[in-house]
Amino acid sequence: MTRPLASGSLAAWSIVFGSLSDPAFAQDADTDLAQKLSNPVASLISVPFQFNYDRGFGPDDGHRQILNIQPVIPISLNENWNVISRTILPVIWQDDIAGPSGSQFGLGDITQSFFFSPKEPTAGGIIWGAGPVFLLPTATDDLLGSGKFGLGPTAVVLKQEGSWTVGALANHIWSVAGDGDRRDVSSTFLQPFVSLTTPDAWTFTLNIESTYDWESDDWSVPLNFQVSKLVKFGEQPVSLTAGARYWATAPDNGPEGWGVRLAMTFLFPK
């Protein structure tokens, strides 16, 4: 479990040592901050901009680019509990993803999750959070979203020990309202993950972002490997990420082969 760096503690160290410019101290702080990013329910405000490129859709080798804007905002409920707001707002560019369907550009459906999570790890160092997830039909084109309002449960559980983080995130969404002419939504998302953060704030992550569509009985299973580095632009900490993804399985008209992931995450430690 990463240790918080409270402002009062920093002030005390500043008085004792004269400054916080010691490279070893700064490196430890950067490593702690980088490891917090591996915890989906960490008490850390972050704003990731995640770009994904996938290809191989349909018979015409369609392709899709998605920029996911994913603000994460922790809210303190009391001395023991936080609620973590996690939003995914996709901006999508795609071409021929449903046969010769042309190009579309615009917003996709928003996924909004709220995790109620203890501020401190539970017995055995387990960190967890659970709450509701909502699907909001904000897509600007029929081929960019479901046309449905959905909801369901979501949960995450993980353990951080030393430099390692191991855990899993899951949710299930059912459609409850929306366009009656569109297909219903019943979708399970499963994301096991493992990451290693080095003393110089590099993070190596492997995860599987699998989705099972209960309406069509289809799995979508991309395997993601990514490398992140915490850097600073002036006083602003930023995590830069590059990675590759391989589609182990997908629906008949889904993506195939290799894809690319790039991300820039702005961090706002308390």
> Confidence class of residue 129 from pLDDT cuts 50, 70 and 90?
very high
Higher-pLDDT residue of 166, 269: 166
Would you say residue 1 lies in a domain? no
pLDDT tens by residue, 27-40: 677 888 999 999 99
Higher-pLDDT residue of 100, 75: 75
State residue 22's pLDDT score.
Answer: 53
Would you say residue 232 lies in a domain? yes
Would you say residue 30 lies in a domain? yes
> Confidence class of residue 124 from pLDDT cuts 50, 70 and 90?
confident
Helix ranges restricted to H, 141-254: none
Would you say residue 214 lies in a domain? yes
Would you say residue 2 lies in a domain? no
State residue 98's pLDDT score.
Answer: 81
Bridge-partner residues for 219, per DSSP? 212
251 lies in which domain range? 7-268
Would you say residue 138 lies in a domain? yes
State residue 26's pLDDT score.
Answer: 57
Would you say residue 157 lies in a domain? yes
Number of domain units in the chain: 1
Bridge-partner residues for 207, per DSSP? 193, 224
For 163-168, what is the mean pLDDT? 96
Give the CATH number of the domain where residue 111 resides: 2.40.160.40
pTM of the model: 0.87
> Confidence class of residue 213 from pLDDT cuts 50, 70 and 90?
very high
State residue 123's pLDDT score.
Answer: 82
State residue 59's pLDDT score.
Answer: 84
For 181-192, what is the mean pLDDT? 96
> Confidence class of residue 199 from pLDDT cuts 50, 70 and 90?
very high
